[in-house]
Amino acid sequence: MSAGTWQLGDVTVNRVGFGAMRITANPDRSVAIAVLRRAVELGVNHIDTAAFYASPGGTLRVGEGEKRHANELIREALAPYPDGLVITTKVGPGEDAERGFYNATTAAELREQVEMNLRQLGVDTLDVVNLRIMKKPGDDSITERFGWLAALRDEGLIRQLGVSNVRLDHVEEALAIAPVVCVQNSYSVDLRGDEDELIGFCADRGIAYVPFFAIAGSSREGGATADHSAAIEKIAITHNVTPQQVRLAWTLHHSPNILAIPGTGNPAHLEQNIAAGGLELSAEELASLG
């Protein structure tokens, strides 16, 4: 891949990966399977997923009804998994029939979520597990929760650990307990918050920064935004590409430790996302994007 590589802990991955959140939105399961297989054919060796990525009416457990869960689609499409493929998942948020959508607050709940990911993906050890939190004002330490995941790593259920939806102080807390291989936060050309300091902190320590909503921007879970700046539109016209590709290219240009994880259930959009890794933006174009 022309976007180059970065270390995800002890594994080298291509900087354009694949986010599985939207794969279940495609009503044609065979197309979803084909998109996942095509992604790997195009060089994707880093897939981001979660046990709570399921389509409406989908199942959260293997063997119950139609397999419309991201982990199960990944397993059906790609198992036995090719050498070098890294599947990153996340725990913290969860969903089941009794509790609905919930956030894990105990060691037992986090273990249950880890074990669910293991079952759904059909593996004995998860490559990378991110602790995703719901940030709250005031004291929202992650020390206890991250420590529980570190214990599961010591048991051999997890190889490497990361954090998601966090601040710099959260990352520092986690690093005091165990190595952190990635930080996954919301970040895009027009929705940056105060992330640049955290990106630099990670780059200095060899930690991958993995932005979600790089294409969606303020649309977030709603999918690719149609609200593009004049600068994005101009660059897209100049290069004969889509505004979404410009957004991805900016993300990759911004810092070498950034790993993009654009997600889609659309084969054409997949090809465009991968191609964005080769889109070269000039210094003037980057400056116009701020």
Query: 3-state SS of 183-204?
Result: EEEECECCECCCHHHHHHHHHH
Long-range interactions of 95-104: CB distance < 8 A, separation 24+? 95/52, 95/54, 95/60, 96/60, 101/52, 103/133, 103/134, 104/145
Residue type, 283: A
Residue recorded with tokens 């969903």: 95
Phi, then psi, of 82 in degrees rounded to 5: -70, 150
Active site residue 53: yes
Phi, then psi, of 8 in degrees rounded to 5: -105, 85
List for the chain the helix, strand, coil content (%; round to 5): 40, 20, 40
Beta bridge partners of 191: 188
Residue type, 268: A
Other C-beta atoms lying within 10 Å of the C-beta of residue 153:
19
Distance from the Cα of residue 36 to its chain's centroid: 15
Long-range interactions of 238-243: CB distance < 8 A, separation 24+? 238/285, 239/279, 241/272, 241/275, 241/276, 241/279, 242/272
Under a CB-based contact definition with an 8 Å cutoff, are residues 153 and 161 in contact? yes
Positive or negative CA dihedral for 28, 29, 33, 36? positive
Q: Active-site residue numbers?
A: 53
